Amino acid sequence: GATALHLAVHSRSKSVTWLLVENGAKIDLPDQDGMTALHRAVIAGDTALVWYLLEKGADLSLVNNYGRDCLHLAAQLGHDRILGLFLERGMETTRQDKKGKTAL
């Protein structure tokens, strides 16, 4: 199931997210759908939370149960600022999800 960190990110609560991460919450722990806190921040469209989680070491290479990474989600949802942030960090654009689709 979802962790407290997943719920904090989903609700876009920066203060609770910060508190949890600073007290040792596992950033890359997936929920039942294979989604990490970073995936959830991308879905929420919260650039500040995405940036914070990346600065705290969130793994950009992780995929959810559908084989989609954060770049796939940002592109699918039209979150251009987040997409740009990932591209600036050199995220791979040719990775295919389980349906053979790339993010771009």
Domain boundaries, the chain: 4-88
Residue 1 pLDDT level (bands cut at 50, 70, 90): confident
CA atoms within 13 A on the CB side of 81: 11
Q: Which CATH class is domain 4-88?
A: mainly alpha
- Binned at pLDDT 50, 70 and 90, residue 37 comes out as very high
Asked whether 45 and 77 are in contact (CB, 8 A), the reply is: yes
**How large is the C-alpha radius of gyration of the chain?**
13
What are the pLDDT digits (tens) for 65-99? 999 999 999 999 999 999 999 999 999 999 999 99
C-alpha of 4 from chain center: 15
* Alpha-carbon gap, residue 82 to 50, rounded angstroms: 7
- Residue 58 confidence class, pLDDT cut points 50, 70, 90: very high
Tell whether the model's pLDDT for residue 104 goes beyond 90.
Answer: no
Encoded tokens for 103: 């993010």
pTM for the full predicted model: 0.94
Rounded Cα distance between 17 and 7, Å, is 9
